[in-house]
Structure 1
Amino acid sequence: MDRATRTPGAARARGAARALAVAFGGLPHTVGTVDSPPPHVAGDITGLWLRNGRSRERIIDPTSPEVVTMTTHGERLRDVWLAIESIGRGTVKPQRLVLWLDRPLSRTPRRLRVLQKRGLEIRFTDPGLGVHTKYWPYLSTERLDRPLVMSDDDIVYPATWLEELREAAAESPGCVIAHRAHVIGMSSESEFSPYSSWAPCESAEAHYTHFATSVSGQLLPPELQRAILADGTEFLHRAPTADDVWFHYQAVKNGFPTRQVLDRQQHWWFIPGSQETGLNAINVAGGENDRQMAATHTPGTRSRIWADAQTIN
C-alpha cells in the first residue's frame, strides 16, 4: 500500500465506506484493494456508492443528443456500476446509456439493477466481438443519427466528462472528439514508429496524426458511425483487440480528423482492482497496437497521416 492510502484522509474515506456498509449491505469491492486511490478519489467513490444506494435520479436525459456505450466482462462486472454511476451524475447526461454484454446473466448484480431502474440499458449480443462489443452491436442495430460516445468500464469519470465532449464537438463538427490522444510518429510515409514512442497530444486542434484512446472517452459523429458500419466486421481480422486502432483508421480513411478536448491529455483514476485484467498490457507492452496499426492502415491512410504531420512539424 502506498503512502497516499495511509493518510488520515484515506483512513476517513475507508471508515466512511465501512459505516455505509451497515446501511447498504456489504463493503464495496473497491475499498481497501492493493491499488486503492488517493483520498479525494476514495471519497468520490464512497459518494458514488452512497448515491447508488439512495438516489432515484435518472442517469439519462431524453433531450440530450448523445448515446454512451460501454462493455464489460468477467470479474469487472461487479464494479462496472461505478463507471456508469460516475457518468450518470454528470453535469449533462446522455440520452441513452447502454451496457453491452456478450452473454446472458444468471442474475443481474444488485447495483446494476438499481441503475436499470434509473435508465441504464443492459443489452446482450453474440460472443466473439471482444472489445468491439462496446459499439458494434449498436452500429448494426440502430439508426445512427446521434453522436456515439465510447466509454470504458474501469474509469471513475468526472462530472464534466460528457459536457466537455459535447462542447468540443459543437466547436469542431466533423471531427472525432477525445479527452486523451497521442501524436502518431512515422519514420517514413509508409512506416509508423513504435506506439510506445508516440508523444502525448498537447494541442486542441484537429489532425489526422492525433490518435484517440477510448479509455478517457471519445465521440464519433453519425457520419463516421455509418462509414464504420459499411466496412462490416473486418476489424476482427485486422484489429481484433484494438478498437482505438480501428476507429482511427476509419476516421482517417473517411476524412474525420481527431481533436483533443484540451491542449493536454486527460486520464482519470482507474476503478481500484480493475487493472488485474485488461488489454492494456497486451496492446501496449505486448506490441499488439503496433502489429494492428500495420495490419489496418493502408497506403492511402498512411499518406494522409504523413502529409498532415508535415503541416505540423
Structure 2
Amino acid sequence: MKQINLRHKVESLLRILVKGTYENLKYRRNHILKTYREKPVEKNLYVSFTTYGPRVHIFEYTVLSILAGSILPEKILIYVPKGFKDLLYAKTDSILLDHLELGIIELIEMEEDLGCHSKYFYAFKAYGDQKDIVICDDDVVYYVDWLKDLIQGKHNHPDFDVFAYKAVQVYRTDDAIEPYDNWFHLTRNQQEGKTLYAEGVGGVLFLKNKLTKEVFNKEVFMKITPKADDVWLWFCTYYNKLNVKYISPKNNTKLLYVIPDSQVVNLWSDNTSLKRNDIYVANCNTYFKEQLNFELMPLIPLAPESHNMNKE
C-alpha cells in the first residue's frame, strides 16, 4: 500500500510538468488569474455549463482551464441551483471569488434546475439568437487551444452548424438504431461521418440562431431524457436540419483531463453501464416520430460489414 501511495505521489508531481493536466493548472493558477485579461477575446461567443453543490470544489478548475486558453470567450456562463453561491462564498480556498461578476465570468442561479439540460437551455434561450454558444462540462480541464480550434473549425467548414471535439458515429440496422455500446468515437484517423452524435463533455459549438425548434420543450425532455442532454440535442440538431462537424485536436494534444475526485457522481457511467442511453434514444425516437413526424433513423448510415465483424 505504501508503494502504491508513493507511486501516486510521484505521478502527481510529474503531471505538474505536463501542460493541460489538472496538476499543472493548479500550479499555474496565480499566473493564469493575473494574465487572462491580456488575452484576445472572441466577440459574440459565450461558453456555457452547469454545476451543482457536490462540485463546488471542482468546477473552478474547468473555468481556470478556459481562462488559460489561447483565446477567451466573451462570457463564461455558469448556471447553478439556488444556494450554490452561498456554498461558494463559504469556501476559504476559492480561486474565483474575486473574479466573479467583474467581466468574463458570470455565476447565474436558476429559477428551475433542469439538471444536465441547464448547461444549454438558459444560454440558448437568452443568447442563442445573438451569440455562438459553446457548451461544456464542469468536471474536466480543457487544453490551451480548445476554444481556438473550435472557432477555426467554424471558419474552415462554413457548411456546418455544430462543431464537436468528441463526436460519435452511430449506425443502424434495417429496423433499429444500434445500441449505444456499438457506437464509436471518431479519431484523427477517421474524421468523417454522417449524422454524428456530439458529446458535450468535449465541448460543442452551436452557431447562433440555428437550434431553435423543439429544443426548449422542457416538459418533454425532462420526461423522456431527464439525464441525457446529449441525446435530446442529437435529435433536436437533425430535426432542425443542422450538420455536425468533428474537430480533431491539433498536434496529438490530449483534449481534456478529468479533474481528480470529480467522478464520485457522474451521469456518463450511469447512462452507459445501466443502458439508460438506449432507453433515452428509444424515447426520443418515439416522441419525434409520433408527435413531430420526424424520423432520425433513415438519416443514420447502415452498419458496414466490417463494423458487424468487429462486434463478433
Q: TM-score range by the shorter chain?
A: 0.7 to 0.9
Pairwise CA distance, 1:112:
2.7
Q: Between Structure 1 and Structure 2, how many residues are aligned?
A: 286
Among 142, 149, 164, the alignment partner of 2:134 is 149
Checking the alignment, whether the CA contact within 8 Å between 1:102 and 1:133 is kept in structure 2 is no
Specify every segment of 5 or more residues in structure 2 that has no aligned partner in the other structure, as ranges. 308-312
SS in 1 for 2:127: coil
Checking the alignment, whether the CA contact within 8 Å between 2:202 and 2:255 is kept in structure 1 is yes
- Who is 1:41 aligned against? 21
- Who is 1:277 aligned against? 265
- Who is 1:10 aligned against? 12
**1:72 has 2:51 as partner:** yes
SS in 1 for 2:142: coil
Which structure 2 residues correspond to residues 1-313 of structure 1 after superposition, within 5 A? 1=4, 5-7=8-10, 10-11=12-13, 41=21, 43-51=23-31, 55=34, 57-58=36-37, 63-104=42-83, 105-106=85-86, 107-108=88-89, 109=91, 110-116=94-100, 117=102, 119-142=104-127, 144-173=129-158, 174-188=160-174, 190-202=175-187, 203-205=190-192, 207-208=194-195, 210-229=196-215, 231=217, 233-262=219-248, 267-297=255-285, 298-299=288-289, 300-306=294-300
Checking the alignment, whether the CA contact within 8 Å between 1:207 and 1:259 is kept in structure 2 is no
Root-mean-square deviation (CA, aligned residues, Å) is 3.1
C-alpha distance in structure 2 between counterparts of 1:40 and 1:248, whole Å: 29
C-alpha distance in structure 2 between counterparts of 1:230 and 1:70, whole Å: 16
Aligned residues: percent identity? 20
Pairwise CA distance, 1:283:
0.9
Checking the alignment, whether the CA contact within 8 Å between 2:194 and 2:301 is kept in structure 1 is no
| Amino acid corresponding to residue 97 of structure 1 in structure 2 | I
Checking the alignment, whether the CA contact within 8 Å between 2:50 and 2:119 is kept in structure 1 is yes
| TM-score (normalised: structure 2) | 0.80
| Amino acid corresponding to residue 269 of structure 1 in structure 2 | Y
| Amino acid corresponding to residue 44 of structure 1 in structure 2 | N
Checking the alignment, whether the CA contact within 8 Å between 2:46 and 2:76 is kept in structure 1 is yes
- Taking a change above 3 Å as real, the CA distance of residues 187 and 248 of structure 1, as seen in their structure-2 partners, is same
Pairwise CA distance, 1:127:
3.2
- Taking a change above 3 Å as real, the CA distance of residues 156 and 63 of structure 1, as seen in their structure-2 partners, is closer
- Taking a change above 3 Å as real, the CA distance of residues 200 and 142 of structure 1, as seen in their structure-2 partners, is closer
C-alpha distance in structure 1 between counterparts of 2:152 and 2:265, whole Å: 33
- Taking a change above 3 Å as real, the CA distance of residues 95 and 112 of structure 1, as seen in their structure-2 partners, is same
C-alpha distance in structure 1 between counterparts of 2:34 and 2:139, whole Å: 22
SS in 2 for 1:141: helix
C-alpha distance in structure 1 between counterparts of 2:184 and 2:128, whole Å: 37
C-alpha distance in structure 1 between counterparts of 2:263 and 2:38, whole Å: 26
Specify every segment of 5 or more residues in structure 1 that has no aligned partner in the other structure, as ranges. 17-37
Q: What is the CA deviation profile of residues 75-123 of structure 1, one whole-angstrom value per residue up to 9, with x for unaligned ones?
A: 2111211000100111111011111012132253432313314521011
C-alpha distance in structure 2 between counterparts of 1:291 and 1:169, whole Å: 32
- Who is 1:20 aligned against? none
SS in 2 for 1:207: coil
SS in 1 for 2:77: strand
Which 10-residue stretch deviates more, 248-257 or 166-175? 166-175
| Amino acid corresponding to residue 276 of structure 2 in structure 1 | E
| TM-score (normalised: structure 1) | 0.80
SS in 1 for 2:79: strand
